[in-house]
Amino acid sequence: MKKKKVIVIGGGFAGVQLAKNLDRNLFEVLLIDRINHHQFQPLFYQVATSQIEPSNISFPFRHIFKNKRHVQIRLAEVLAIDPENNSINTTIGAFDYDYLVIAIGCKTNFFGNNAICEHSFTLKTTYDAIKIRNHILQTFEDIISAKLDEKESLLNLIIVGAGATGVELAGAFAEIKKEVLPRDYPGIDFTKFKITLIEGTKNTLNNMSDMAKAASRKYLQNMGVEMLTETFVTGYDGNTLKLNNGNEINTKTVIWTAGVIGNTLPGLPNSAITFGNRLKVNRINEVAETKNVFAIGDIAFMQTPKYPKGHPQLANVAVNQGKNLAKNFKRIYQGKTPLEYEYKDLGTMATIGRNKAVVDFPFVKFKGYFAWFIWMFLHLMIILSVRNKLIIFINWAWVYVTKDSSLRLILTQNRETCDAEKKLVP
């Protein structure tokens, strides 16, 4: 039989796992993404806080699939889907498919507040992490020469959203405030550098256990992070952050981690789109009201008896949905009944800093040094390449011993001007 054409839109955890596991003898795969590499999102915060280099958690697609000749890579943006004709339209042309898989993930949700979107930082890509790192380091350079009335806003760092990303960022910044920055900038009084974590609910790590909520909050408070819970941001203009209780904070740095919303693609039926722009799928990840169109990962909303409100948007869900769909495509090709997907909860974890983490496994919950060790071990295991596992492990070991990563580079472009009137002297 002729090989089937599978187009995968998005090279995150779900898309990469699907492409890696599709049978080369049965399928031709086209992976389309706007960037040329897979990004390891759980460690973005360590790039933003100068603990690891971006290249350590970024994996070029062409390297990942170098031994898989049935997988082709195209850098493009998908403009629209035409399900009736089994085709998609992209910035580099149109492509036909036998099966289309949407794995486009989510983006930051600003809840309709465009001003906050314009002036705050996000942490959804490697580039976002580099931007935060550049901004933070440049801010301390600016503090040295700033006037007294300008220093308050420069010394206020605000993180909005106390999920795993917000908590991990706050903890990492608190550590470098204590251990690293005073040595780099001896002229700055870091007792005045304030890190504030703002959360709309009354807890940090709201999706974890009561133990994790209480422990993470205590860890952050002991590290000097100011907590504003049950508080909402109503506006930000780049200088003043406004809160729903009427208070205002002068700040030049707001990092928004308060929520996500699904990316969208024109051409899908409106009936297939549900809360948070996620795509409704059945138990084999086929998009509702479509044929030969599937969705996996964060963008997929699958209701099951165990998860009537959909699966959590976690890397483990995305990875296993990708693997399961690869098996099902083979079963469909062979005329067999596809296997329904169900998520097996392996637990949730978050790190708050050196020797501080919380872990919720289905059978046990714990915190502290051992939780921190487990967090490091499991994150190293899911890094894609052996080389990167080794580099990150060595880097973490070095930082643990020295409390200093020495990766604080400000990487910005300085444009050179051309002197049009300059002439060569004969």
Residue 316 has pLDDT above 70, yes or no: yes
Domain pair 4-107+260-333 / 114-258, same fold: yes
- Which residues are bridge partners to 345 per DSSP? none
Residue 364 near residue 211 (C-beta atoms within 8 A):
no
The confidence score (pLDDT) of residue 402 equals: 62
Candidate ranges 45-54, 161-170, 342-351; pick with highest mean pLDDT: 161-170
Q: Where are the domains positioned within the chain?
A: 4-107+260-333, 114-258
Model confidence at 411, pLDDT cuts 50, 70, 90, reads low
Residue 421: exposed, middle, or buried by beta-carbon count in 10 A (0-12, 13-18, 19+)? exposed
Which fold, 4-107+260-333? FAD/NAD(P)-binding domain (3.50.50)
pLDDT, position 233: 96
pLDDT score of 400: 60
Helix axes 164-179, 210-222, angle to 10 degrees: 20
Architecture of domain 114-258: 3-Layer(bba) Sandwich (3.50)
Strand runs (DSSP E) across 149-268, as ranges? 156-160, 194-199, 226-229, 233-236, 240-243, 248-250, 253-256, 260-262
CA dihedral (8, 13, 321, 29) positive or negative: positive
pLDDT digits (tens, 9 = 90+) for 263-296: 999 999 999 999 999 999 999 999 999 999 999 9
CA distances from 238 to 108, 115, 127, 242 (A): 18, 9, 20, 11
- The region of weakest confidence among 44-58, 239-253, 374-388, 390-404 is 390-404
What single string gives the DSSP state of each residue in 1-53? -PPEEEEEE--SHHHHHHHHHS-TTTEEEEEEESSSEEE-GGGHHHHHTTSS-
Largest Cα span, the chain: 84
Q: Which amino acid makes up residue 186?
A: P
Residue 418 pLDDT greater than 90, yes or no: no
Please state at what angle helix 13-21 crosses helix 315-333, rounded to 10 degrees: 30
| Neighbour tally for 224: CB within 10 Å | 16
Kindly report, residue by residue over 329-352, the tens digit of the pLDDT: 999 999 999 999 999 888 899 999
Residue 391 has pLDDT above 80, yes or no: no
pLDDT above 70 (res 423): no
pLDDT tens per residue, range 149-161: 889 999 999 999 9
Number of Cβ within 10 Å of residue 86's Cβ equals 18
pLDDT of residue 401: 61
More confident residue, 406 or 124: 124
pLDDT at 406: 55
Q: How confident is the model at residue 92 (pLDDT cuts 50, 70, 90)?
A: very high
